[in-house]
Amino acid sequence: QTPSLLKRASTDKLREVFQKYASIQKDGEQYMTSEDFVRKFLGLFTEAAFNDESVRLLAGIADTSKDGLISFSEFQAFEGLLCAPDALYRTAFQLFDRQGNGNVSYADFADVVQKTELHSKIPFSLDGTFIKRYFGEVSPANFNQKLNCLLNIFVHLKKKQRLINYAEFTQLLHDFHEEHAMEAFRSKDPAGTGFISPLDFQDIIVKVKRHLLTADVKDNLVAVSSLRSSLNRSLYVIDLHCGQVTEGHRVSFPYFIAFTSLLNNMELIKQIYLHATKGSRTDLVTKNELLYAAQTMSQITPLEIDILFQLTGAVNQPGWWKRKKISPSRQVRIDYSDLSNIAPEHYTKHITHRLAEIKAVDSPSDRSALIQVLEATYRFTLASFAGATGATVVYPIDLVKTRMQNQRTGSMIGEIAYRNSWDCFKKVIRHEGVLGLYRGLLPQLMGVAPEKAIKLTVNDFVRDKFTDKRSNIPVWGEIIAGGCGGAAQVIFTNPLEIVKIRLQVAGEIAGGSKISALSVVRELGFFGLYKGAKACLLRDVNFSAIYFPTYAHIKGALADKDGYNSPVSLLAAGAIAGIPAAALVTPADVIKTRLQVAARQGQTTYTGLWDATKKIMAEEGPRAFWKGTAARVCRSSPQFGVTLFTYELLQRLFYVDFGGNQPKGSLSVKSVGSLGNTVDVAQPRVDHIGGYNAAVPLLAGIESKFGLYLPRFGRGAAAAGTTSGSGT
């Protein structure tokens, strides 16, 4: 859930949490200190050598009285603020409102800005034109004006006297970093030539636009800004017109502005891409196609699109065209994953609660054979539970389907017992009771757990082998993976299917002898349990080859604009994909059923797959191959919907990171902030209730959106902080 959808916590629960962390008793009231709130409750700046000034600044967001203590009323008020739709800007405003009077003065703004890491690296002119336009200035050149404003000067004790309210502050904060970038460019170009070196370009971007950079972009800044004549000799066909924006190996001001604008507008670029591909995240688009789609967006210039493709090429070399499966002589195309590699995900994604979370490896490079075995075991276990759940839900439909398919027509008209699936369902309940709908369930559950587990596990395993580093897989790879899963399933399916089917049809004859699963096994023997295996392979391989690719694409189509799949969309995707898969393989299922059912006296017997096909066609016609299609679809569609829904939901609830591929649309995003620790948005603390579920992501968002990085370490530990990194 996003911050705008958070529900307020009750007063009683908030008070219980507050009292747990409050350490100060004053005049009969409890209070939190800055450290209580930031370090203990929020879990930020947990290092021993933390920066106490940064902690006080963050605590001041909730401490509206600015007395250094947070009362319960302030604690509750901040929880309410976090539920507001504009909580990010309001939180930033309270960070700058140092006096707690609902306005930001020049002194407030300057005080916070001077404490940020960016200002310490590239000082911002707090007496420049930009600040004057927002906060005003008393001009000493106009003596009469100076006299008229003398009283205000006395009150504010500073030239810049205008107070900024919340609405104006939001625009100030938006414009501040753009102005800081331009000022940084001017500082690197003191002669005013309009050009800077690639190293200066890198220095500015890394410091001023740090919050908008991924590691891939950061590592290629110099290469991108230097890419000119070498690009023309490369295999990439990208019309960059670099000679117009660079002079030798220098970066021009227009290129610099376009580059920073591109970083700022990457979310808009993503929307333009989705518009060009009609919502697909895997379709490849050329530069011209993206330019055409961007025509209605005046914010995006052709130079920015040029830089986008230039940057994408640099990030993906060498051999980019090979991974994209296109000839190097053809025009380069990009997909959504290329945009994600350039732009870091923002803090406002999806907050998914997890019952457990384990990180098995630190990075994909640490994946060993043992880790892969553990990953397969993990998937097998979850898939077993998912398969059993799905089978139980739809077992009555499966029983009806089996009896309809086993019903003979043609020469033995008198044997027809059921007019249709609904008639069969009613008669089973009438003659055998409700429990009759669950005949053979136990052996089915004993088999369906490993059956579905091995199908899902093998499918995932083979998919991983065909999936590239961008988590893209070709359709043929999906089909092969599904087919492999279906083939592996037959090893477990066939013996259990034949036992299940014989138990299901046993109740058709009134007064018939009771049979058990054990008696069926004894009668058939080991090899008899694999009777009809060829038909089973024909059914299951084709079913899985159709089902899994269809499920993956429908799931992607039902994902929200951020690529996240809600539980409802998972259930719908699984159910919809089951319709064509189940219907198209019904003939193979009919043949398999006829081969596995024990023929009664007078019924036609079959010696094999081809023999059954010929005899059914000759005696009953082609329509016989589609018997029970409706029942099969009604059974398979919800069964696989429930199975895949349960399987993916279990992976979210019991999350284990093995360093491999995770189901698309299921992972929550980690914040890109560095507030003391790398913050996992998906796993808020137990005590973070109501609006406080979004507290840490929002505070990290102040960094990731506005670049307001506060020092993590105290001055004495500055070197240590530099060594350990900022967590971003």
Is residue 357 one of the residues assigned to a domain? Answer: no
Q: Beta strand 356-359 with 654-657: parallel, antiparallel or unpaired? A: parallel
Tell me the backbone φ, ψ of residue 412, rounded to 5 degrees. -115, 70
Is residue 532 one of the residues assigned to a domain? Answer: yes
310 and 383 share one domain? no
Is residue 196 one of the residues assigned to a domain? Answer: no
The separation between CA 379 and the C-alpha centre of its own chain, rounded to angstroms, equals 19
pLDDT for the residue numbered 647: 92
Helix orientation angle between 369-406 and 586-596, rounded to the nearest 10 degrees: 80
Q: Buried b vs exposed e over 63-72: b needs ≥16 C-beta within 10 Å?
A: bbeeeebbbb
Provide the H-helix boundaries in 415-566: 421-432, 441-466, 475-505, 517-528, 533-558
Domain ends where: 657, 690, 714?
657
304 and 264 share one domain? yes
Length of the chain: 728
Neighbours of 223 (CB within 10 A): 17
Is residue 451 one of the residues assigned to a domain? Answer: yes
Are residues 129 and 120 in contact, defined by beta-carbon separation less than 8 angstroms? Answer: no
Q: What is the dihedral of CA 662, 667, 671, 675, to 10 degrees?
A: -80
The CATH number linked to 393 is: 1.50.40.10
Domain ends where: 604, 624, 657?
657
Is residue 125 one of the residues assigned to a domain? Answer: yes
Listed as own residue / partner, the contacts of 372-376 with beta carbons closer than 8 Å and 24 or more positions apart are 372/658, 372/660, 374/658, 375/656, 375/658, 375/660, 376/457, 376/461
Residue pointed to by tokens 């902030």: 673
With 0-12 / 13-18 / 19 or more C-beta atoms within 10 angstroms meaning exposed / middle / buried, residue 654 is: middle
106 and 72 share one domain? yes
Report d(CA 194, CA 254) in Å as an integer.
9
Closest to 631 in 3D by CA, of 681, 586, 697:
586
401 and 441 share one domain? yes
pLDDT for the residue numbered 230: 39
105 and 76 share one domain? yes
Is residue 422 one of the residues assigned to a domain? Answer: yes
606 and 693 share one domain? no
Is residue 308 one of the residues assigned to a domain? Answer: yes
Q: Beta strand 285-286 with 250-252: parallel, antiparallel or unpaired? A: unpaired
Provide the H-helix boundaries in 150-252: 150-156, 166-188, 198-208, 215-219, 221-226, 229-233
Residue 40 tokens read as 């203990």
The separation between CA 635 and the C-alpha centre of its own chain, rounded to angstroms, equals 30
Compute and round to an integer the Cα radius of gyration of the chain: 33
Is residue 360 one of the residues assigned to a domain? Answer: no
Q: How far apart are the first and last CA of the chain?
A: 23
115 and 223 share one domain? no
Report d(CA 236, CA 233) in Å as an integer.
8
Q: What is the reported pTM?
A: 0.62
Report d(CA 249, CA 652) in Å as an integer.
48
Helix (H) or strand (E) holding 251: strand 250-252
Which whole-number Å values give the CA distances from 563 to 273, 514, 540, 558, 569, in the listed order? 14, 53, 30, 9, 11
Are residues 344 and 212 in contact, defined by beta-carbon separation less than 8 angstroms? Answer: yes
384 and 437 share one domain? yes
**For the chain, how many structural domains are there in total?**
3
pLDDT for the residue numbered 669: 45
Are residues 384 and 375 in contact, defined by beta-carbon separation less than 8 angstroms? Answer: no
Q: What is the dihedral of CA 158, 162, 164, 169, to 10 degrees?
A: -80
Domain ranges, residue 232: 214-342
pLDDT for the residue numbered 544: 92
Report d(CA 437, CA 424) in Å as an integer.
10
Residue 480 CB partners (closer than 8 Å, separation 6+): 462, 466, 545
Are residues 504 and 403 in contact, defined by beta-carbon separation less than 8 angstroms? Answer: yes
Q: State which residues of the chain have pLDDT below 50.
A: 1-4, 138-143, 145-147, 149-151, 153-158, 228-247, 318-330, 347-351, 411-413, 668-683, 716-728
With 0-12 / 13-18 / 19 or more C-beta atoms within 10 angstroms meaning exposed / middle / buried, residue 163 is: middle
What 3-state DSSP class applies to 655?
strand
Listed as own residue / partner, the contacts of 312-316 with beta carbons closer than 8 Å and 24 or more positions apart are 312/338, 312/341, 312/342, 313/236, 313/238, 314/220, 314/223, 314/224, 314/227, 315/216, 315/217, 315/220, 315/341, 315/342, 316/341
100 and 71 share one domain? yes
Span 280-328, pLDDT tens digits: 877 889 888 998 888 876 678 888 998 898 888 777 664 444 444 444 4
What 3-state DSSP class applies to 37?
helix
Helix orientation angle between 87-96 and 52-62, rounded to the nearest 10 degrees: 120
Closest to 206 in 3D by CA, of 130, 270, 122:
122
300 and 389 share one domain? no
500 and 602 share one domain? yes
Residue 612 CB partners (closer than 8 Å, separation 6+): 535, 591, 594, 595, 606
547 and 627 share one domain? yes
